[in-house]
Amino acid sequence: MAATSRILSLSYSSTLQRASSFKNQKLSGRVDGGSLGGLLKLSGVNGLKGHSNLVRQSCSSVPTGRKQMRIEALFGRKKPAVVVRETVVPEPDYRIPVILLGAAGALLATDNALPAAPIGLLGLLLLFQTTRVRFVFDDEALEVRIGSELQESEENVFVGGKNRWKYSTFINWELWWPNFPVLVYFKESQTKPEGQVHFFPVIFNGKQLYDVMVERCGPSQTSGPK
């Protein structure tokens, strides 16, 4: 019994000494990994034994001497937030169909009905398309949609497939002409590997269209509309 009491007394004294040392190190802002691990072992707190091993592993990479305890060893590191770009829909622009219809009217007024007819029909077609066709730039692709509710369009009548092209497949694009955009051109490799060319009349706000295409598809060789 005397031997057992002496062993318990020595163990208790050692625990108090280590606890006092740990307290002094904590006040100074630095903790020794070995002291903390020993204190946890002597105290017999089973719930903290796993954390002692984590602290030892974290402190092992710090230079010799008193080692800094790393909080991320206990709590882990936060994952970076995923940034999703907002969906952009350029506003409709009626200038081109209005100009075409005005030119057709002027030709009719001067008895030039033959050239006025195709120009007038083109103006009416673009006027109708301006009210319904929308370019939708979401986080990963450009898509042609229909109406104010942005309904899905039918398959492309010229090359087939869905009217949706990922930005990563764009080879190049241009806007003619920058000061007064009339036509937008782009080439993509999604439809076919060698590249597929597309032309669309600019029946949208040219400045908005240029800005979002530069942001999502990269710069073109032409300058932006004034």
Q: One-letter amino acid identity for 79?
A: K
> Cα separation of 183 and 177, whole Å?
7
> Cα separation of 7 and 182, whole Å?
94
Q: Is the pTM of this model over 0.95?
A: no
What string of pLDDT tens digits covers the 226 residues of the chain? Answer: 444 444 444 444 554 455 455 445 544 444 444 444 443 443 444 443 444 444 344 444 445 444 445 545 555 566 667 778 999 999 999 999 999 999 999 999 999 999 999 999 999 999 999 999 999 999 999 999 999 889 988 888 778 789 999 999 999 999 988 788 999 999 999 999 999 999 999 999 999 999 999 999 998 876 555 4
Domains of the chain, start order: 2-75 (no CATH), 134-217 (2.30.29)
> Cα separation of 149 and 51, whole Å?
56
